[in-house]
Amino acid sequence: MKPVVTAVALAYRDTFTFAKLDVNTQPQKTRGYNIRGTPAYIVFRDGEIAGAFSGAMPSNILVERILGILAIEETE
């Protein structure tokens, strides 16, 4: 998933930002966010969790899910 996330992060850098949590070195935060498997995505809006999902997927589905949670329409 790393190449997909990297490509999406670059293409949508003006729309949203990715941050990485190392589940191996941050077990407390992992439990706090209820992360059960990887890859896991937690979408924040204005500092609050707006939605979450998990699993490997192609870039177009990843973008669709993030934009859907953020309620942003694709303009490209």
Please state, in angstroms and rounded to a whole number, the distance separating the CA atoms of residues 48 and 62: 20
Q: Which domains does the chain have, with CATH numbers?
A: 2-70 (3.40.30.10)
**Each residue of 26-72: pLDDT tens digit?**
999 999 999 999 999 999 999 999 999 999 999 999 999 999 999 98
Indicate if the pLDDT at residue 76 is higher than 90. Answer: no
DSSP-derived letter for residue 25 is T
The pTM of the full predicted model, rounded to 2 decimals, is: 0.85
User: What pLDDT was estimated at residue 75?
Assistant: 60
User: What pLDDT was estimated at residue 72?
Assistant: 81
Q: Which helix (H) or strand (E) holds 61?
A: helix 59-70
Residue scoring higher pLDDT (1 or 57): 57
Residues paired with residue 48 on neighbouring β-strands, in sequence order: 45
